Amino acid sequence: MKTIAVAATALNQTPLAWNANLTNIHAAIFEARAAGAAIVCLPELCISGYGCEDAFLSPSTHVQAWASLRESLAFTEGLVVSLGLPVFHHNTVFNAAALAVDGKLIALVCKRHLAGDGIHYEPRWFKPWPLQTRDLFRAPDDGEEIPIGDLVVDVGGVRLGFEICEDAWVARRPGGDLSAQAVDIILNPSASHFAFGKREIRRRFVVEGSRAFGVSYIYSNLLGNEAGRAIYDGQTLIASAGVLLAEGPRFSYRDHLVTVATVDLDLTRLSQSRTTSHRIQLPDAHHPAVIRADFEWPIARTTGSNTPIAAWEKSTAIKEEEFTRAVSLALFDYLRKSHTRGFTVSLSGGADSAAVVCLVHLMAHLALQDGDATGKLPFLLPCRNVGDLTHQLLITAYQATSNSGEVTRHAAACLAEAIGARHHELDIAELHQGYVDLIGKAIGRELTWDQDDIALQNIQARVRSPGIWMIANLSNTLLLSTSNRSEAAVGYATMDGDTSGSLAPIAGIDKAWLRKWLRWLETEGPLLESGHVNIPALTLINQQQPTAELRPAGAAQTDESDLMPYPVLDAIERAAIRDKRGPADILVLLQQDFPDHPKAQLFQWLTRFFQLWSRNQWKRERYAPSFHLDDQNLDPKTGCRWPILSGGFALELEQLKAGLTTP
């Protein structure tokens, strides 16, 4: 029986943070070696960081990446290690996996399929490596010639091949060709961002790939908030011949994770021989596809380090659990990598700002649970408990105008006290009225709600911005804005007012689901090692109807009366923006999904959505960076591109209206 211990790793890297990235790489290799692994698969572009963007086109990036690779070779003695980096070859940048064997660089295998949809822009920087093409790369430091391209590496009689991230997501995976070349183990170094439900998809293609190709499969991934917007859950997987052998934990606050398992090569080789569809592929004599390296394989001395699946992963509220952990980890990494000392939030007493401060509080819970995570924040004083940690990391302020009510003030104060935030109450009524009087005097008339509704609403939101920014500046904290995706879709936010902030942590989630999450958090909450963590003080938030609270109390203003019911708004947004459907198709869908509303009312809401969507792209362009959570992201920099100026669906809506009125 031929057995080999293999390791899949997760790394929390940062673009262009050369020393920190190497520290994590070397620590992961050291831990894998200590666990008995002979093969170590590190994530895609782990040396440079995946999110370098246009820095991939900078010569200095390639100089530093190559120097880091050279520095890492000494750590691979006695091991087989895959390290990801950008490579400049033939005046082209490629996304490569460098395979080091016993301290020597043996081959550079390049990615064949580039991710260019949704959050990804890889074709802007890289070119796909052509199928069955091989070449020699001349090292920039010493001129060493290294095989590069679409390669298989025979290491001491064990054949290794690569599917690099997107390669495994396409219809014609490289794994089929690798199986035809009798590959024993496929390494998949990935930078696969988190999205709801993605864990099961990865498990399927790893396990099914190992079965269909008759191989052992090692899947590595990034971890945490690498570059600001994308979140990586750190999922690692090892499968063999259709069986999942090991899976690492997700959403860890550690800098690296190592998952180890022992694979049986005799089992996978026999699996290939039994597969009737298996066809051999012999290499061209002039362009050998197989690179050979001598290596003495150690006797596998590990039974693996598979971590039992966490109890929360089995929750019926898995989306709520994932949202909590993904955004909390992203906030923690954003905080430490931006070298700031906490967060400041304008806490209105409504759902959105409540969700933001609760996420910060849950971040504190999870950081304390995950070992020495708080040690990464050197400014912290010793923490006795989670309330103490939240108190050090979170400042909130309720800013009242003459239109603010006691309900929201009390709700904000109670929530801040419940989670331990440093809370302020600021009366800005005089500032607000001062602006109203100033402009009224300048234009020579008194401003009224009948004539100046939008301006009078917006000035209240904007007058809140300077004070909260000042608090953030004085405390060297990040100001978090509180806009959600539903409001971003229709521009229901005041620029330079409630959109003020350095980061928009909930701008990737819709309002209807966010309210559901708050109700869950009030009564149940995420399952931590100590049990469920809920926040009963949220009852004061959840019993309210969402309101901007910018008109006088007698107006009984609510968000949904200004716009439309949030479930309707979210349904239109999904159909129009995610699914790219036109107004006529969407009206049919709305009639099916919301039969209690008259067709004329649905058409009115549909028209309002498309008009507001088209007019407010400029707002979405100016929103603070947000986290990517699913394929409905509206962030124009990482998700939904849209013209700032457009026809606004005027013709389509006019045609649809004419059809409604035709007998």
What's the CATH number where 366 sits?
3.40.50.620
pLDDT of residue 554: 76
Number of domains in the chain: 3
Q: Are residues 549 and 643 in the same domain?
A: no
Q: Look at residue 579 and tell me if it is in a domain.
A: yes
Q: Are residues 276 and 182 in the same domain?
A: yes
**Of 510, 531, 559, which one is at a domain's C-terminal end?**
559
Mean pLDDT score, 369-381: 88
Q: Are residues 235 and 379 in the same domain?
A: no
Q: Are residues 573 and 536 in the same domain?
A: no
Q: Are residues 17 and 148 in the same domain?
A: yes
Q: Are residues 574 and 437 in the same domain?
A: no
- Interatomic CA distance for residues 518 and 546, integer angstroms: 13
Mean pLDDT score, 433-452: 95
Q: Of 373, 472, 383, 465, which is closest to residue 420 (Cα–Cα)?
A: 383
Q: Rounded to 5 degrees, what are φ and ψ at 202?
A: -60, -45
- Interatomic CA distance for residues 525 and 517, integer angstroms: 9
Q: Look at residue 303 and tell me if it is in a domain.
A: no
Which tokens is 311 given? 């109890």
Provide the pLDDT confidence category of residue 281 given band limits of 50, 70 and 90: low
Q: Look at residue 298 and tell me if it is in a domain.
A: no
- List the domain range (segments joined by +) for residue 605: 564-663
Q: Look at residue 312 and tell me if it is in a domain.
A: no
- Interatomic CA distance for residues 292 and 158, integer angstroms: 10
Tens-place pLDDT, residues 620-644: 999 999 999 998 889 888 888 899 9
* Residues 6 or more apart in contact with residue 481 via CB below 8 angstroms: 498, 499, 500, 501, 502, 503, 504, 507, 623, 624
Q: Are residues 326 and 265 in the same domain?
A: no
Q: Look at residue 624 and tell me if it is in a domain.
A: yes
Q: Are residues 625 and 552 in the same domain?
A: no
Note the residue count of the chain: 663
Q: Look at residue 461 and tell me if it is in a domain.
A: yes
**Of 500, 529, 559, which one is at a domain's C-terminal end?**
559
Between CA 567 and CA 571, with CA 570 as vertex, the angle to 5 degrees is: 85
Lowest mean pLDDT among 83-97, 549-563, 581-595: 549-563
Q: Are residues 166 and 256 in the same domain?
A: yes
DSSP assignments along 638-658, one per residue: TT----SS--TTHHHHHHHHH
Q: Name the more confident of 498 and 148.
A: 148
SS3 of residue 41 by DSSP: strand
Q: Are residues 403 and 377 in the same domain?
A: yes
Q: Of 329, 311, 403, which is closest to residue 365 (Cα–Cα)?
A: 329
Q: Is the pLDDT assigned to residue 84 strictly greater than 50?
A: yes
Are 46 and 164 in contact by the 8 Å Cβ rule? The answer is no
User: pTM of the full predicted structure?
Assistant: 0.95
Q: In 351-484, which residue ranges form alpha helices assigned H by DSSP?
A: 351-369, 386-393, 406-419, 429-443, 449-463, 465-475
Q: Look at residue 365 and tell me if it is in a domain.
A: yes
Q: Of 84, 78, 44, 53, which is closest to residue 66 (Cα–Cα)?
A: 84
CATH number for the domain that contains residue 618: 1.10.10.1140
Q: Is the pLDDT assigned to residue 408 strictly greater than 50?
A: yes
pLDDT of residue 307: 65
Mean pLDDT score, 238-246: 96
- Interatomic CA distance for residues 37 and 245, integer angstroms: 14
Return left, alpha or beta for 224; rule: phi > 0 is left, psi -120 to 50 is alpha, else beta. left
Q: Are residues 277 and 327 in the same domain?
A: no
**Of 531, 559, 587, which one is at a domain's C-terminal end?**
559
Q: In 476-616, which residue ranges form alpha helices assigned H by DSSP?
A: 485-490, 511-523, 539-542, 559-562, 566-573, 583-593, 599-615
Are 242 and 227 in contact by the 8 Å Cβ rule? The answer is no
Q: Look at residue 311 and tell me if it is in a domain.
A: no
Q: Of 508, 487, 501, which is closest to residue 636 (Cα–Cα)?
A: 508
CATH number for the domain that contains residue 69: 3.60.110.10
Q: Are residues 145 and 194 in the same domain?
A: yes
Q: What is the DSSP letter of 381?
A: P
